[in-house]
Amino acid sequence: MTPLLELRDFSAWYGDRPALRGVSLEIRAGEILGVIGPARAGKTTFLRSLNRMNDLEPGFRTAGKVVYRGVDVYGEGVDGAALRRRLGMVFAVPVPLPGTIYQNLALGPRFGGRRGDLDARMEESLKAAYLWEEVRDRLHQPAFTLSGGQQQRLCLARTLMLEPEVLLLDEPCSGLDPLSTARIEEALQQLKDRTTIVLVTNNVMQASRVAVRTAFFLDGRLVECGPTEQIFVRPKETVTHDYISGRFG
Amino acid sequence: MSRWIRIVGAAFTGLTGAACLAILTMVAVILGDIALHGWPHLSWEFVSTAPSANLAEGGIFPAIFGTVALVLLMTVAVVPLGVAAAVYLHEYAPPGSRFVHVVRLALQNLAGVPSIVFGLFGLGLFVRFTGGGVDRLFFGGALTFGQPCILWAALTLAVLTLPTVVVATEEALRAVPRSYREAAYALGATRWQVVWHVVLPQSVGGMLTGAILAVSRGAGEVAPILFTGAAYYLPHLPSRLNDQFMELGYHVYVLTTQSPDVEATKPVLYSTVFVLLGVTFLLNLAAVLVRSGIRRRLRQT
């Protein structure tokens, strides 16, 4: 089976500072890939390289390839905006944009040039993000009136409005209470039937709960990647074991 | 030692406070003097009728009308241009580019040019070159736009106030959180969609602040309109873009310097200054109200 997304000897720099060094990794359709590692291991750079979010970063350079459906995303003539619609992203800090809940949800389809009725898809996206029951009667209230956990689920629903093929999550639960975290994890479990998920997390236990496969990054390198159970129970590398058991990081 | 420090501290507090008091005193004296001498001569007739030919009698309505028309025209010209320039500088140009550096340098220079130079510049560029060119091209050389008029005066003021608008708009663009832009990009927005749907709505307040500052500055300037459109005395109101116009600041200048009988024009002069301040204040107030209205609407959504 050809992978949906593939990194081939991919390196990235911010100016002179290397952030990723020669990473090769496959992401398969329909899986949840957990990405763990200490701070500054390159996890976020890895994630943001997949949908070219780092294009906006001055001085960002890459080498090697990121191949999505057989196309090098850093090749000539690739439309970054269209790519980001297919590879939707949710950030560590919830970023509701000014406007109502409804307006937030409508943004993605509107950017994509879609007109017409979005209500059905909104209900579906909100349900998938486990937020529908809490906001169904207040869609036209400002998004800022939601709690932090609700805002993050709104951001998830807003990304789902794009019907992305891949969902890129950058520590989506880092600022949330355990209950909100549980809601989001539940949502991810339901979503894996229709999207591929890449979940960067600082919480090792979250990876063990949610991920089908787990990748461990350290110092810009991919140390190892395999089925989550194997990474957690009998990792090939001692550093992986040390990190998972909390001996550093 | 400690006593010495206490004395220095007290003296410093006193000095800085006195500086603030001096500012208050100056403003109070200026406004008080104008209000005191300007008020008695004010009447409905004064603000609603035209001056008589010797300017010492009659009203100043044409000058009020001309000032408001001039400032509105200037605003219409300077805000889109200034906002567009600021958007390019802050949103599109690659950071640290040579072009941006040169444009900023040009803006700083523009802000430092004496206003009389703008007047001469306006005469050369707008009246003679542009206006004269338009006349040759479209009016068979007949004098139509190649003369001082309200359009060229407004454009000259627009150039004068351009740096103000650009700086205020850039400030507002800078205040839009980076996370907003990222969130929009992540939702598949193109660069102009990010600017149009996310950044600009967030910076409307700052743009209007720029407009307000431009109005304050523009409404009080006399030198730039001296050669580009202001008239000493006109029996009629300007009705076309290539009409000349009377203006309050210029009218004050005329009353002060051109009258044979200074004492006779003094009450008119004071009241004209009073009205000039009043009109500037009202134009500002209007812009502030528009801004707060927009801010309230933004906050509600």
Q: Assign domain A5-68+79-244 to its CATH architecture.
A: 3-Layer(aba) Sandwich (3.40)
Residue B19 forms part of a structural domain: no
Model confidence over A112-141: pLDDT tens digits? 988 888 999 999 999 999 999 999 999 999
Instruction: Print pLDDT tens along chain A (249 aa).
Output: 678 999 999 999 999 999 999 999 999 999 999 999 998 999 999 999 999 999 888 889 999 999 999 999 999 899 999 999 999 999 999 999 999 999 999 999 999 988 888 999 999 999 999 999 999 999 999 999 999 999 999 999 999 999 999 999 999 998 888 998 999 999 999 998 889 999 999 999 999 999 999 999 999 999 999 999 999 999 999 999 999 988 775
Give the CATH number, domain containing residue B207.
1.10.3720.10
Q: Do B184 and A107 touch (CB under 8 A)?
A: yes
Measured distance CA(A210)–CA(A203) in Å, rounded:
11
Cβ-based interface (< 8 Å): residues of A facing B: 51, 53, 56, 58, 81-82, 84-85, 88-91, 93, 95, 97-100, 103, 107-108, 110-112, 142, 155, 158-159, 162
Cβ-based interface (< 8 Å): residues of B facing A: 94-96, 179-190, 193, 197-198, 201-202, 298, 300-301
Q: Which amino acid is at A105?
A: L
How far does B164 lie from chain A, in Å, by closest CA?
27
Q: Do A98 and B181 touch (CB under 8 A)?
A: no
User: In 3D, which of B70, B258, B29 has the Cα closest to residue B268?
Assistant: B258
How far does A218 lie from chain B, in Å, by closest CA?
26
Q: Do A95 and B190 touch (CB under 8 A)?
A: no
Model confidence over A42-55: pLDDT tens digits? 999 999 999 999 98
Q: Which runs of E-coded beta strand occur in chain A? A: 5-14, 17-27, 32-36, 60-68, 71-72, 87-90, 166-170, 196-200, 213-218, 221-227
Q: Which residues of A touch B183 (CB under 8 A)?
A: 91, 95, 97, 155
Domain boundaries, given as residue ranges, for chain A: 5-68+79-244
- Residue A137 sits at φ, ψ, to 5 deg, of -95, 0
Q: Which residues of B touch A85 (CB under 8 A)?
A: 187-188
Where in the sequence is the domain holding B228, given as residue range(s)? Answer: 39-300
Please tell me the total count of domains within chain B.
1
Identity of the residue in A88, A93, A100 whose CB atom sits nearest the CB atom of B179: A93
Model confidence over A204-216: pLDDT tens digits? 999 999 999 999 9
Q: Which residues of B touch A89 (CB under 8 A)?
A: 186
Reported ipTM: 0.92
Q: Do B182 and A93 touch (CB under 8 A)?
A: no
- pTM for the full model? 0.83
How far does B209 lie from chain A, in Å, by closest CA?
20
Q: Do B183 and A88 touch (CB under 8 A)?
A: no
Residue A1 confidence (pLDDT): 64
Which long-range contacts link B293-301 to residues 24+ away (Cβ below 8 Å)? B294/B204, B294/B205, B294/B208, B295/B204, B295/B205, B298/A98, B298/B201, B298/B202, B298/B204, B298/B205, B300/A142, B301/A98, B301/A99, B301/A100, B301/A103, B301/A142
Identity of the residue in A91, A97, A162 whose CB atom sits nearest the CB atom of B188: A162
The DSSP-derived string for B234-253 is -SS---STT--B--HHHHHH
Identity of the residue in B96, B188, B300 whose CB atom sits nearest the CB atom of A108: B188
User: In 3D, which of A59, A56, A70 has the Cα closest to residue A12?
Assistant: A59
Round the average pLDDT of chain A to a whole number and report it: 93
Identify the closest residue of chain A to B196 by CA–CA distance: A111
Q: Do B94 and A155 touch (CB under 8 A)?
A: no
Residue B125 forms part of a structural domain: yes
Residue A247 confidence (pLDDT): 77
- Residue A177 sits at φ, ψ, to 5 deg, of -75, 165
Most A CBs within 10 A among B100, B187, B190, hence the mutation to make, goes to B187
Residue B294 forms part of a structural domain: yes
Residue B232 forms part of a structural domain: yes
Residue B105 forms part of a structural domain: yes
